[in-house]
Amino acid sequence: MSSNDSSNKSKRPANTLFKQQQLKAWQPILTPACVIPTLIVIGVIFIPTGLLLYRSSTKVLEVRGEYPESCKNKSKCEIKFENLNMNQPLYMYYELTNFYQNHRKYVKSRSDAQLRGEVVKNRNDLASCEPYISLNNSEQNDPNLFYLPCGLIAKSIFNDVIILKTQSGKLVNVQKKGIAWESDRDEKFNNPPANAPGIRTVPDFKDEDFVVWMRTAGLPTFRKLYRIIKENLNGTYVVDITNNFDVSGFGGKKTIIISQANFLGGQNHFLGVVYILTGGLCFLLGIIFLVIHCTCERKTDLSYINNFGE
């Protein structure tokens, strides 16, 4: 046997049903008898489900307080929430608008190795952190000049201090532990050794405010959990703010939100509306197709399918 024959033979696929593309297959035939009932059933299931989800969302109480104009020129300001009557569980969020955490360069600008507590000594291994890698953008491969952690996400961390208290000045019982995902806090973040070289910009990599911020949002308007409120709120409350996070550079706004939660989370009508619209559209199409089928019925010829392949 020549070498060409041997080469050609080795390129032939094995004589199996899979490699010869002879596996049995089934393809549904979209006849009116199966399409119309399917659309109607989807509508009958989705519409009540959407109404239930929407109703559950409307029962979630939520109050919002946007930072007043006076906050722009002051380091200290406050927001007042009056006549609250909210029972636990309660959560306090901060919301930012016009902040694009989903920008490709911003999302990439981090070092997961650093965040896991590893000591990175080669500047090339921090290339993803551009343009915030080392002091004064130094090109030197000197670990003592590296930011720890590097990257734009860590550099731009939300650092306003928010304190919730009663009108008389008594601090409300809030909890910081538990605001971050447990998998993030325990598996993705760890502090580097105390003697690790670098310019430490975040004191504690496992700090839950930091961990929450590092999980980037997908939309330019987003909220992040700040504290869990451990008591019922009844009456008037004041939010004392130390205004450190400047939003004027990108035309953004800041808002404090206090919200209850249900089995789906906070107040969000999106899922219920999607279910209602999808179910309504399917039900409407099902009825339209049914009317057309009853008034303009024609015989379905499946002979070409039955004879296919003969």
> According to the CATH classification, is domain 63-98+159-177+215-261 in 2.30.30.90?
no
* Whole-number average pLDDT of the chain: 89
pTM of the predicted structure, to 2 decimals: 0.78
| Domain limits, the chain | 31-60+266-301, 63-98+159-177+215-261, 110-150+181-211
What average pLDDT score do residues 6-28 get?
78
22: nearest Cα among 33, 32, 14: 14
What average pLDDT score do residues 272-282 get?
96
Gap between the Cα atoms of 196 and 217, Å rounded: 30
What average pLDDT score do residues 57-69 get?
90
Express each pLDDT in 233-261 by its tens digit: 999 999 999 999 999 889 999 999 999 98
Is residue 94 within 8 A of residue 256, CB to CB? The reply is yes
Phi, psi of 248, deg, nearest 5: -65, -30
Express each pLDDT in 133-192 by its tens digit: 999 888 889 999 999 999 999 999 999 999 999 999 999 999 999 999 999 988 999 999
